[in-house]
Amino acid sequence: MRSSRVVVVTGASGGVGRAVARELGARGDSVALIARGTTGLAAAAVDVGAAGGAGVVYPADVSSYEEVRQAAEGVERDLGPIDVWMNVAFSSVFAPFSEVTPEEFERTTAVTYLGYVWGTKVALDLMRPRGKGVVIQAGSALAYRGIPLQSAYCGAKHAIKGFTESVRTELMAEDSGVRVCMVQLPALNTPQFDWVLSRLRRHPQPVAPIFQPEVAARALVHAADHPERREYWVGSSTALTLLGQRFAPGLVDRYLARTGKSSQVATDKPPTGVANLWEPADEEHDYGAHGSFDDRSHAHSAQLWLSQHRGPVLVTLGAAAAGALAARALRR
């Protein structure tokens, strides 16, 4: 029987972080919830408790190393040694690069990139002396492939990938028992598109196909259970994007130049006027895990299942191929 763990989740008040918290609660884990919005955090703690776990709130801005460090110290004091640290928190700006101010770009980088750096540093400072622990980075297909209107976010996700690879090799060099794993996620139906700072004339939307945040949550929790893999890809769209970028990046450039902007604008929704870049959007209002695209979002991913079970799948395919070859030989 699996014993409960102490798991830290940043960005836990809404979106993927909120869905992850619920998933962990259903497993009976003790979940430390880090974010800025106190109303969203309080609701997340209720969700974890209702699911069967224990959720404890630690308000912090992940762009501040000191706030993250103090939160981690509180977690270890209240709940015990941290087994898993999940970096999920981010913020961004939807706009052409020419319309993003230096202050906005810097703030996005501080939250979305340095938030992962500080979370990882604090986690490793606690885990490395113990020789065990797991750090999970919630990534994106955009860690490999930049798209229009999201220069700050794409830049941060690319940076997280390079940073994570560097840290992973350092841990391997010292033969550490601590594992670091990155999970590259697809377009998701989260409040990101309701509360991100946007200069678009219409409501921003994820690029289809869109998946529900629970798909991402299951992938992140699975990665925490199986961190021996360096990276997981979630969703067929992520796999196709990463493969396209690997083999035909110029073709992808031209495709996105034609379709990248229009595919990120919802013609049937006006802008919300909400922005969480500088202040939390869920300080007084709980947004939950889902955004406003439930009607067009997928609750499951066949590609994720195949990725999680690729060992048995490869064995089965190998056995089937061997059987076919044997049958063919007997017919001769």
Catalytic residue selected from 157, 161, 232, 287: 157
Question: Do 297 and 189 meet the contact criterion of CB atoms below 8 Å apart?
Answer: yes
What 3-state DSSP class applies to 259?
helix
Distance CA 155, CA 140 (A): 11
269 labelled catalytic: no
Residue 135: both structure tokens together: 């750090």
121 labelled catalytic: no
Integer distance in angstroms from the first to the last C-alpha of the chain? 51
CB neighbourhood size of 249 (10 A): 11
| Strand bridging mode 84-87 / 133-138 | parallel
Distance CA 34, CA 60 (A): 6
Question: Do 265 and 200 meet the contact criterion of CB atoms below 8 Å apart?
Answer: yes
Residue 148: both structure tokens together: 């229009």
Residue 303: both structure tokens together: 């590609």
Where do runs of H (alpha helix) occur along the chain?
15-26, 38-51, 65-78, 102-112, 114-127, 151-173, 192-195, 213-225, 236-247, 249-259, 302-308, 310-331
List Cβ neighbours of 46 (8 Å cut-off, separation of 6 or more): 55
Catalytic residue selected from 153, 161, 232, 287: 153
Cis peptide upstream of residue 227 (ω within 30 degrees of 0): no
What positions carry a catalytic annotation? 153, 157
